[in-house]
Amino acid sequence: MLAIGLIATALFSLKMKQQVDNDAVKQFAHASDQITLKIRDRLAAQELILRGAMLFSLHRTIWITPTGSATGAR
């Protein structure tokens, strides 16, 4: 009887350990995904800022003369 109880306890503990490990992996994956999404959002925002700055810089650097030819900075 004691042996059956010990075997049942060992199997139950093994099952619980596997479940805890699986839960930890899922939580880590979720946290990693959230961080990845935040990084992508920030990179996209930075890209928009840089594109806007580039367009502003180009607009100020190149301007069109009345004859239609491009000239350098004012």
For residue 46, what are its two tokens?
Answer: 């930075």
- In one-letter notation, the amino acid at residue 64 is I
pLDDT tens-digit series, residues 9-43:
999 999 999 999 999 999 999 999 999 999 999 99
- In the prediction, which pLDDT does 63 show? 61
> pLDDT for 52-70, tens place per residue?
888 877 776 666 555 655 5
Alpha-carbon 35 to chain mean position: 5
* 27: exposed, middle or buried (Cβ count in 10 Å: 0-12, 13-18, 19+): exposed
For tokens 């800022």, name the residue: 49
Please identify which residue in the block is written with the tokens 């990693």.
32
Quick one: pLDDT at residue 1? 86
Say what the pLDDT of residue 33 is. Answer: 98
Amino acid letter at 9? T
What pLDDT was estimated at residue 60? 66
Model pTM?
0.60
Which pLDDT does position 28 carry in this prediction? 98
Q: How many residues does the chain have?
A: 74
